[in-house]
């Protein structure tokens, strides 16, 4: 999981570079082409046929999940461009808190007062992030916040889909629907790329495939709730890349607020595991 978060952080750094030079829809579209090729090859190697893995009784839910994720990625990459990696990540890491808050409505799960208290504390951390710096306290801050909301909803719908479909089936639909949806939009925004940036695009695509492969292997040997806390390291890795490569500034308000959000998120994960055991 640590390797996965590092790869995703590198991927986001390259995405920020390319989206700063080219249209974000084209960048995400090419990234999804490689993703689709990966899930097709993976389906044939691991399950024998694409048709067998794609079989589902809830196609509309799977299509909506795939489209929701591509919208989330586009919005988040724009957040990287306008806010930087550090501040975007600091706001985006609220998504576990949003999942906890909405799990009762969407999944019918019981959310106790302790988790509600942690959710409120976490969003106070967001206020700490937004308050000190004018650059963060701007309309652009809505980009990572909107991305966190969409990613949380995507995660909840993935849990909902898991009641009937396997994780492999949902993963397959995510890649294929994402590629189709982004192609329908991205082809109208095609721009010529330099040879050097095609190299970065190839590297981005390889990182995307590697990240998803590592995530699959991770969930094959460990429970998601066990390794989920390590996902917060993406803020550390992404923040380091933003500081070293893009000269992003780490504000005290962002650091303190991010720490509050992470602590609240870890508490909600702990309470979720405790509730599952009892």
pLDDT in tens, 98-131: 887 887 777 676 777 777 787 788 777 777 766 6
Buried b (16+ CB within 10 A) or exposed e, 15-35: bbbbbeebbbbbbbbbbbbbb
CA–CA separation, 223 vs 97, rounded Å?
19
Stated pTM of the model: 0.82
pLDDT-wise least confident of 5-14, 111-120, 222-231, 245-254: 222-231
Smallest Cα–Cα separation from 75: which of 9, 15, 23, 144?
Answer: 144
> 3-state class of 108 per DSSP?
coil
Nearest Cα to Cα of residue 128 among 264, 252, 266, 262: 252
Q: List % helix, strand, coil for the chain (3-state, nearest 5).
A: 85, 0, 15
What's the pLDDT at 178? 94
Residue 134: pLDDT over 60: no
pLDDT band at 92 (very low <50, low <70, confident <90, very high): confident
- CA-closest candidate to residue 39, choices 19, 55, 53: 53
Query: 273 or 86: whose pLDDT is higher?
Result: 86
pLDDT at 223: 67
């Amino acid at each position: 999981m640590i390797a996965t978060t590092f790869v995703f952080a590198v991927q986001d750094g390259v995405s920020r570079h390319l989206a700063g030079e080219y249209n974000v829809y084209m960048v995400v579209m090419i990234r999804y082409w490689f993703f689709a090729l990966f899930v097709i090859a993976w389906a044939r190697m691991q399950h024998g046929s694409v048709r067998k893995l794609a079989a589902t009784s809830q196609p509309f839910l799977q299509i909506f999940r795939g489209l929701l994720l591509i919208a989330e990625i586009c919005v988040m990459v724009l957040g990287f461009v306008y806010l930087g990696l550090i501040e975007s990540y600091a706001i985006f890491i609220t998504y576990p808190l949003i999942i906890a808050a909405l799990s009762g409505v969407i999944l019918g799960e019981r959310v106790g007062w302790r988790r509600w208290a942690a959710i409120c504390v976490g969003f106070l951390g967001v206020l700490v992030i937004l308050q000190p710096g004018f650059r963060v306290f701007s309309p652009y801050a809505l980009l990572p916040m909107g991305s966190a909301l969409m990613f949380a909803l995507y995660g909840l719908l993935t849990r909902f889909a898991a009641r009937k479909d396997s994780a492999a089936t949902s993963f397959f639909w995510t890649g294929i629907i994402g590629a189709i949806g982004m192609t329908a939009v991205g082809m109208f925004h095609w721009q010529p790329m330099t040879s050097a940036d095609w190299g970065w695009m190839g590297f981005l695509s390889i990182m995307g495939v590697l990240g998803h492969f590592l995530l699959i292997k991770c969930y094959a040997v460990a429970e998601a709730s066990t390794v989920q806390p390590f996902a917060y390291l993406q803020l550390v890795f992404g923040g380091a890349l933003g500081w070293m490569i893009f000269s992003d500034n780490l504000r005290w308000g962002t650091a303190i607020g991010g720490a509050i959000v992470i602590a609240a998120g870890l508490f909600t994960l702990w309470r979720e595991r405790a509730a599952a055991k009892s």
